[in-house]
Chain A
């Protein structure tokens, strides 16, 4: 009896040890499996007639808004280059920036310029980062349809979000209390909205959440609610919410590329220093390949605007210059 138990215990110990070792050693055990192609053996690869020289692994992570876009591009890229492994994580812009600075991520995704994170800028940590502006995201003030408003002046927008105007009837809508839904401080979307919609003033929100889906749901279900969202979240079939025009200008691509509609931001992919090797190849692909940036490509499908379509450029300070 006791012999059996002892054997069992031993087995458990060994399994435990093997499991631990397995966790640590996963990376190494997966690598050699496919490396025979790069060593010049003439195994014809199924996907590509040409011999693929690219191999390696990339870790990208950060802004959740960018995650689906990078994920889709990564999957397409990995199909082309079967020896490349790309992992895309979320975690938020702050995470993306700090992890790329400390070298944990090869690519840090962020909704904001690194310089907009005051502490990082002051510590000089942004200096060795290289910015790749992969797309432009458009944000709209979105209200519940019950308010009966589809256009606000810039001043009205500021007054609503700072709490000066508290009823929709003061801006030509119904007699209905305004409920402002905001985002937590530190959110890239909030920073953009503050800068380009509220003229730098702080919002006073009754509710906060940073999940765009949740904000959309809360606006749709709360009569009199207003919040802001990336326009990719506002779909034609949404009957309960309306993306507001600002001074009569709608948040459309045509208006954004000429900066007539000003509430937009770049989506950044940062690398520490100039990218090399497989990281460079992937960034080249995501920045220039028509599959990603072209008409009907991944960027447009996800509701963003390809950076190359912009007719203007905007720097960290918000200075806008016509594109050369």
Chain B
């Protein structure tokens, strides 16, 4: 019952409590990480498991899957997905080709030429563009772009080209903001070095900043492409969704995403058609995995940004 013993007892209690805190905290963090990994793993496993069935259980050949005839209810049923793969690839590349020069221009302007103005005006505008839901983009595309394309370019307005235009606007903000960050990360010292050697501002930007930030700029474009490839709703509203092989950019086409969204209601569970839709989902997953992989690879090559 001496004073010292009581103190030590209370101290011991405090120590115990602290230890408990530490343990609980760690447990909570570990549980969160485990849950995230579990969910991600489960999603991957589930999609792959379902998506592989057409080839294993139903003996669908890869050659047939890569043909152009899509007719799930035909006799015999045919599951050629090439037209959608082509459609997805064309609109993604098209949007990247149109958006990249625009975004790069905007990014150089904000990062190198008018940082104050860019921060105050351009950045908020782009953030607003990011916030617009895709259904709104699709609706604007349907009401404004479709008649515009029909009257000025020909065709019926619903086309791959219209899809490219809508996607271009949608990925502009993504590409611009990532590219801006990449350019801003180029150290001022080397720019000063460039000026000291007598280079003009334009020479500095084109031969130094752009080169130094190249991995970051490529990352920006890939992010934009990944978004374009996975976008379903807005594209579906303006592209026409014909499961045929488009002859030109002004022809209606279809993308992987639009076919999945269109067919999912009809495919009865446990049928081949149902599993083929999962296979298409696997392709989308692989594409996004590939883009992440490429981004990481570029990240390794970075010197400044």
Contacts and interface: CB of A to CB of B under 8 A. Distances in A.
7 contacts: A12-B28, A94-B274, A98-B271, A184-B259, A207-B156, A210-B265, A222-B157
B242 A202 contact: no
Interface string A89-103: 011111101110010
Given A2-B21, A9-B25, A206 B268 contact: no
Interface in A137-189: 179, 184-188
A254 interface: no
A98 B269 contact: yes
Contacts of B73: 118, 185-186, 191
B118 interface: no
A218 B31 CA distance: 51
B28 A119 contact: no
B28 A9 contact: yes
Contact of A92 (B147, B150, B266): B266
Interface residues of B, number: 41
Given A118-B73, A208-B240, A208-B242, A6 B270 contact: no
Given A186-B263, A208-B262, A222-B156, A6 B268 contact: no
A127 interface: no
Nearest to B273: A186
B24 A6 contact: yes
Interface of B: 17-18, 21, 24-25, 28, 31, 70-74, 142, 146-147, 150, 156-158, 236-237, 240-243, 252, 254, 259, 262-274
A13 B28 CA distance: 7
A237 B266 CA distance: 32
Interface string A64-105: 100000000000000000000000001111110111001000
A191 B158 CA distance: 24
A127 to B, nearest CB: 15
Contacts of B259: 184
A206 B158 CA distance: 9
Contact of A97 (B70, B243, B268, B272): B268
Contacts of B146: 221
A94 B262 contact: no
B140 to A, nearest CB: 14
Contacts of B71: 185, 202
A91 B265 contact: yes
Contacts of B254: 208
Interface of A: 2-3, 5-6, 9-10, 12-13, 64, 90-95, 97-99, 102, 117-120, 179, 184-188, 191, 202, 205-210, 214, 217-218, 221-222, 225
Contact of A3 (B21, B28, B72): B21
Nearest to A117: B268
Given A179-B156, A186-B73, A206-B252, A119 B272 contact: yes
A10 B28 CA distance: 8
B242 A205 contact: yes
A206 B25 contact: no
A5 B25 CA distance: 9
Nearest to B269: A98
- The 5 A-B pairs with the shortest beta carbon distances in the complex, nearest first, are A92-B265, A186-B266, A98-B268, A94-B268, A6-B21
Query: Which of A64, A206, A214 has the most CB atoms of chain B within a 10 A radius of its CB?
Result: A206
Nearest to B243: A208
Given A120-B268, A207-B240, A208-B240, A184 B157 contact: no
Contacts of A117: 268
Contacts of A64: 265
Contacts of A12: 28
B100 to A, nearest CB: 30
Contacts of A184: 241, 243, 259, 262-263, 266
Nearest to B262: A184
Contacts of A9: 24-25, 28
Given A92-B264, A94-B274, A95-B269, 16 more contacts: A6-B21, A9-B24, A9-B25, A90-B265, A94-B267, A184-B266, A185-B70, A186-B266, A206-B158, A206-B252, A207-B240, A207-B241, A208-B254, A210-B262, A221-B146, A222-B157
A128 B236 CA distance: 38
A12 B241 CA distance: 46
Contacts of A206: 156, 158, 240, 242, 252
Nearest to B237: A214
Contacts of A92: 264-266
B265 A93 contact: yes
Nearest to A187: B266
A119 B262 contact: no
Given A3-B21, A10-B24, A222-B157, A207 B242 contact: yes
Nearest to B27: A13
Given A3-B21, A221-B146, A119 B268 contact: yes
Nearest to B143: A221
B69 to A, nearest CB: 11
B266 A94 contact: yes
Contacts of B72: 185-186
A108 B243 CA distance: 28
A35 B30 CA distance: 43
B142 to A, nearest CB: 8
Nearest to A112: B266
Nearest to A97: B268
A3 B274 CA distance: 53
A138 to B, nearest CB: 21
A202 B74 contact: yes
B267 A186 contact: yes
Contacts of A191: 73
A106 to B, nearest CB: 17
A160 to B, nearest CB: 15
Given A6-B21, A222-B157, A209 B74 contact: no
